[in-house]
């Protein structure tokens, strides 16, 4: 069983346990003896099952099991100890065990709420608050269903109140996260007189045609995607951004391009958002070849989805053959780009630059030719071998360059089963093809560092964020949501290792600005293929990724989930140079 499915199984068992105890308690109160016994038996069995899932999760990594071991296990044990013996002793009328059964139900539900609302890391304050909640609920039931003795009810009240006070106190005391210094003075880049590629992008609302239908969009130069920006290594790229009428502001972020921090386009961090009527000039030297893209980073979730993105390709020099970019996007529920058919003569070298600009993973399948994955996220792979009848999964924000020599027969590229590019009619079912694992593809090279100066762990989860004006169910990192997640602080020259753990039920495509990270391992399996220098990678439920990089690009860098809805709902933090 994968850790992802263990997480699901554990959640299901926890719900069953809680439902069994609570239902059993209600049935006992209603004198439905067989029902009460049956439900209590379900709860006991599910508790046993959970012992197994929690042990397995703890073995997969403490992050997956911390609050289950520290909070759920003791509460479940208390539930069994309180309800079990009384159930066995009670003859005939089960009404006397209604309260113990309900107590068991509250205990398990309390622990379940800790998992759902708080997650990782488990803290004493959360544990105490859970105990207080369970105590209160049990006391209320007790008053209504039984007549407690004075001393017992006093003792219970004291425990509950003490837990509540201690828990709240601890929560308040540990709440002050160091905030990221936002809205500082933004440094400007000096201009130079080197060979310069100049572009102008004007952002504005527009109506564009997708699949024969006119839809409302936000567009650069009235087109979705925006104009394709191309350069040759060594050029200076200068892009003037105008905002005509995007009320919430626009910026340009060069996704995967490790530009100087002042050109990174993150509003509130590297610049102010460009408001209607304003402009901003970006300049950077194109010294990395490869496939990249640009997009707005102001209200990025809405802005990118509405169409404010485009392709950036930097070529090492003059190229031969066919070079095609395929930026995949979903606009107003419809897929882009439209299918393109092109006659290609046999023997022509072809490079397909696949770009996923959506929020979720896409599956790409090239039928009709053996191909190699020449580059991922702009970096060339070492010794890529020919592949046939194999699909690739590209995470949100990610890019794969596929190269092949055009055969005499037609070739087609499928994205999630739809043809987006072809050289003729191809009818191949690609749905059953195996998927390439880039961690085992190509020829390895030794990791360039022997030790790490800094190590950070990011645990991705969901939880209740109470720090804002209104509580919200956020996507969290280490139990906090943006802007309350402390930044990772590094010094220039440090070799930094990130361990990224996903204990949630959804995929999180991770994206660090300003740096490419080298993949060391995924879920304890070392990367054994070509060195993989990525800027976007899917951390699936239950996975643990270890990646490393040299801190060589000073500044304040966004580090976030590229499911931009998640990023806007809390899953954004920063890498900061001291």
Q: Is 185 exposed, middle or buried (0-12, 13-18, 19+ CB in 10 A)?
A: exposed
Structural contact between residues 553 and 518, judged by C-beta atoms closer than 8 angstroms? no
Q: Give one DSSP letter per residue of 225-276, joined into a string.
A: S-PPEEEETTPEEEEEEEESS-TT-B--EEET----GGGS--BTTTB--B-T
Q: Does 511 bind Cu ion (CB under 5 A)?
A: no
- Residue selected from 312, 566, 569, 576 as contacting Cu ion according to rule CB under 5 A: 566
| Residue 513 contacts which entry, ligand C2O, Cu ion, none (Cβ below 5-8 A, type-dependent) | ligand C2O
Residue 488, beta-bridge partner list? 575
CB atoms within 10 A of CB 31: 13
Q: How far apart are CA 564 and CA 255, in angstroms?
A: 13
Options 71-79, 206-214, 266-274, 557-565: segment touching Cu ion (CB under 5 A):
557-565
| Residue 540 contacts which entry, ligand C2O, Cu ion, none (Cβ below 5-8 A, type-dependent) | none
- Measured from the CB of residue 537, what is the shortest distance to Cu ion in angstroms? 12
| Residue 508 contacts which entry, ligand C2O, Cu ion, none (Cβ below 5-8 A, type-dependent) | Cu ion
Please compute, for residue 512, the number of CA atoms within 13 A of its CA located in the half-sphere on the CB side. 27
- Measured from the CB of residue 262, what is the shortest distance to ligand C2O in angstroms? 15
- Measured from the CB of residue 396, what is the shortest distance to ligand C2O in angstroms? 8
| Residue 119 contacts which entry, Cu ion, ligand C2O, none (Cβ below 5-8 A, type-dependent) | none
Q: Tell me whether residue 39 or residue 180 sits nearer to ligand C2O (CB atom).
A: 180
- Residue selected from 508, 513, 522, 560 as contacting Cu ion according to rule CB under 5 A: 508
Q: How far apart are CA 23 and CA 43, in angstroms?
A: 10
Q: Tell me whether residue 476 or residue 523 sits nearer to ligand C2O (CB atom).
A: 476
Question: What is the end-to-end Cα distance of the chain in Å, rounded?
Answer: 42
Q: Give one DSSP letter per residue of 357-407, joined into a string.
A: -SSS-EEEEEESS-BEEEEETTEEPSSPPPB-S-EEEE-TT-EEEEEEE--
| Residue 497 contacts which entry, Cu ion, ligand C2O, none (Cβ below 5-8 A, type-dependent) | none
- Measured from the CB of residue 573, what is the shortest distance to ligand C2O in angstroms? 11
| Residue 255 contacts which entry, ligand C2O, Cu ion, none (Cβ below 5-8 A, type-dependent) | ligand C2O
- Measured from the CB of residue 401, what is the shortest distance to Cu ion in angstroms? 25
Q: How far apart are CA 10 and CA 21, in angstroms?
A: 17
Q: How far apart are CA 260 and CA 257, in angstroms?
A: 9
- Measured from the CB of residue 252, what is the shortest distance to ligand C2O in angstroms? 11
The three-class DSSP label of residue 207 is strand
Q: Does 242 bind Cu ion (CB under 5 A)?
A: no
Please state the φ and ψ torsions of residue 434, each to the nearest 5 degrees: -70, 160
Options 28-36, 106-114, 232-240, 503-511: segment touching Cu ion (CB under 5 A):
503-511
Nearest to 459 by CA among 561, 568, 569, 555: 561
Structural contact between residues 128 and 161, judged by C-beta atoms closer than 8 angstroms? no
Q: Does 561 bind Cu ion (CB under 5 A)?
A: yes
Q: Tell me whether residue 109 or residue 563 sits nearer to Cu ion (CB atom).
A: 563
Q: Does 476 bind Cu ion (CB under 5 A)?
A: no
Q: How far apart are CA 79 and CA 142, in angstroms?
A: 15
- Measured from the CB of residue 561, what is the shortest distance to Cu ion in angstroms? 3
Q: Tell me whether residue 63 or residue 545 sits nearer to ligand C2O (CB atom).
A: 545
- Measured from the CB of residue 82, what is the shortest distance to ligand C2O in angstroms? 50
- Say how many residues touch Cu ion, by CB under 5 A: 4
Among all residues, whose Cβ is closest to ligand C2O?
Answer: 255
Residues that bind ligand C2O (CB under 6 A): 253, 255, 295, 297, 397, 511, 513, 558, 560, 562
Strand 508-512: give its sheet, edge to edge. 488-490, 572-577, 556-561, 508-512, 536-539
Q: How far apart are CA 206 and CA 224, in angstroms?
A: 9
Options 2-10, 147-155, 329-337, 563-571: segment touching Cu ion (CB under 5 A):
563-571
Q: Tell me whether residue 307 or residue 541 sits nearer to Cu ion (CB atom).
A: 541
List of residues 6+ apart from 240 with CB closer than 8 A: 198, 199, 200, 201, 279, 280, 281, 282
Q: Tell me whether residue 242 or residue 253 sits nearer to ligand C2O (CB atom).
A: 253
Q: Tell me whether residue 110 or residue 378 sits nearer to ligand C2O (CB atom).
A: 378
What is the H or E stretch that residue 324 is in?
strand 322-331
- Measured from the CB of residue 97, what is the shortest distance to Cu ion in angstroms? 45
Q: Does 540 bind Cu ion (CB under 5 A)?
A: no
Q: Tell me whether residue 225 or residue 397 sits nearer to Cu ion (CB atom).
A: 397
Residue with tokens 């386009």: 265
Q: What is the CA radius of gyration of the chain?
A: 28
| Residue 295 contacts which entry, ligand C2O, Cu ion, none (Cβ below 5-8 A, type-dependent) | ligand C2O
- Measured from the CB of residue 567, what is the shortest distance to ligand C2O in angstroms? 7
- Measured from the CB of residue 572, what is the shortest distance to ligand C2O in angstroms? 8
Question: What letters, b where the CB count within 10 A reaches 16 and e where it falls short, cover 252-267?
Answer: bbbbbbbbbbbbbbbb
- Measured from the CB of residue 477, what is the shortest distance to ligand C2O in angstroms? 14
Q: Does 201 bind Cu ion (CB under 5 A)?
A: no
Please state the φ and ψ torsions of residue 330, each to the nearest 5 degrees: -115, 115
- Measured from the CB of residue 198, what is the shortest distance to ligand C2O in angstroms? 23
Q: Does 563 bind Cu ion (CB under 5 A)?
A: yes
| Residue 566 contacts which entry, Cu ion, ligand C2O, none (Cβ below 5-8 A, type-dependent) | Cu ion
Q: Tell me whether residue 314 or residue 517 sits nearer to Cu ion (CB atom).
A: 517
Q: Is 222 exposed, middle or buried (0-12, 13-18, 19+ CB in 10 A)?
A: middle
CB atoms within 10 A of CB 166: 17
Structural contact between residues 395 and 537, judged by C-beta atoms closer than 8 angstroms? yes
Q: Tell me whether residue 251 or residue 476 sits nearer to ligand C2O (CB atom).
A: 251
| Residue 362 contacts which entry, Cu ion, ligand C2O, none (Cβ below 5-8 A, type-dependent) | none
Alpha carbon 146 to its chain centroid, in Å, reads: 48
What residues make contact with Cu ion under the rule CB under 5 A? 508, 561, 563, 566
């Amino acid at each position: 069983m994968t850790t992802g499915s263990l997480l699901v199984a554990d959640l299901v068992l926890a719900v069953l346990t809680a439902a069994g105890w609570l239902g059993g308690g209600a049935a006992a109160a209603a004198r439905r003896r067989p029902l009460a016994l049956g439900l209590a038996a379900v709860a006991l069995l599910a508790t046993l099952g959970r012992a197994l899932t929690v042990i397995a999760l703890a073995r997969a990594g403490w992050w997956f099991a911390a609050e289950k071991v520290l909070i759920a296990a003791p509460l479940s044990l208390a539930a069994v100890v309180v309800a079990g013996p009384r159930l066995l002793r009670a003859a005939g009328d089960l009404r006397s065990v209604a309260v113990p059964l309900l107590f068991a139900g509250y205990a398990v539900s309390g622990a379940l709420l800790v998992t759902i609302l708080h997650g990782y890391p488990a803290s004493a304050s959360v544990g105490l608050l859970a105990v207080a909640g369970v105590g209160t609920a049990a006391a209320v039931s007790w008053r209504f269903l039984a007549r407690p003795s004075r001393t017992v009810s006093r003792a219970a009240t004291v425990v509950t109140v003490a837990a509540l006070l201690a828990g709240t106190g601890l929560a308040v005391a540990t709440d002050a996260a160091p905030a990221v210094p936002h809205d500082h003075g933004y440094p400007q880049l000096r201009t130079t007189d080197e060979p310069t590629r100049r572009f102008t992008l004007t952002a504005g609302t527009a109506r564009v045609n997708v699949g024969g239908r006119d839809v409302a969009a936000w567009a650069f130069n009235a087109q979705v995607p925006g104009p394709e920006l191309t350069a040759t290594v060594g050029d200076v790229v200068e892009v003037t951004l105008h905002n005509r009428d995007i009320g919430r502001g626009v910026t340009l972020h060069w996704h995967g391009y490790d530009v100087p921090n002042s050109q990174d386009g993150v509003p509130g961090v590297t610049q102010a958002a460009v408001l209607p009527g304003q402009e901003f000039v970006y300049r950077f030297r194109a010294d990395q070849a490869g496939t990249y893209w640009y997009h707005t980073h102001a209200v990025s979730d809405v802005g990118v989805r509405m169409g404010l993105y485009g392709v950036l390709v930097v070529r090492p020099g003059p190229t031969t053959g066919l070079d095609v970019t395929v930026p995949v996007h979903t606009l107003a529920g419809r897929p882009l780009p439209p299918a393109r058919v092109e006659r290609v003569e046999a023997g022509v070298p072809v490079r397909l630059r696949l770009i996923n600009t959506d929020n979720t993973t896409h599956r790409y399948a090239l039928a009709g030719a053996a191909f190699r994955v020449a580059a991922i996220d702009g970096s060339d792979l070492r010794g890529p071998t020919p592949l046939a009848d194999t699909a690739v999964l590209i995470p949100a924000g990610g890019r794969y360059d596929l190269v092949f020599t055009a055969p005499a027969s037609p070739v087609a590229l499928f994205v999630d089963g739809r043809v987006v590019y072809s050289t003729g009619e191809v009818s191949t079912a690609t749905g059953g093809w195996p998927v390439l694992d880039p961690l085992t593809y190509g020829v390895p090279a030794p990791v360039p560092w022997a030790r790490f100066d800094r190590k950070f762990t990011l645990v991705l989860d969901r939880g209740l964020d109470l720090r804002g004006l209104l509580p919200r169910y956020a996507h969290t990192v280490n139990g906090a949501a943006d802007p309350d997640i402390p930044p990772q602080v590094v010094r220039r020259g440090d070799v930094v290792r990130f361990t990224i753990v996903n204990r949630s039920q959804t995929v999180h495509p991770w994206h660090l600005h300003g740096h490419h990270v080298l993949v060391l391992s995924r879920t304890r399996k070392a990367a054994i293929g070509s060195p993989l220098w990525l800027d976007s990678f899917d951390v699936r439920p239950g996975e643990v990724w270890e990646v490393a990089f040299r801190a060589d690009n000073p500044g304040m860098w966004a580090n976030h989930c590229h499911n931009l809805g998640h990023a806007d709902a809390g899953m954004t933090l920063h890498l900061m140079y001291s």
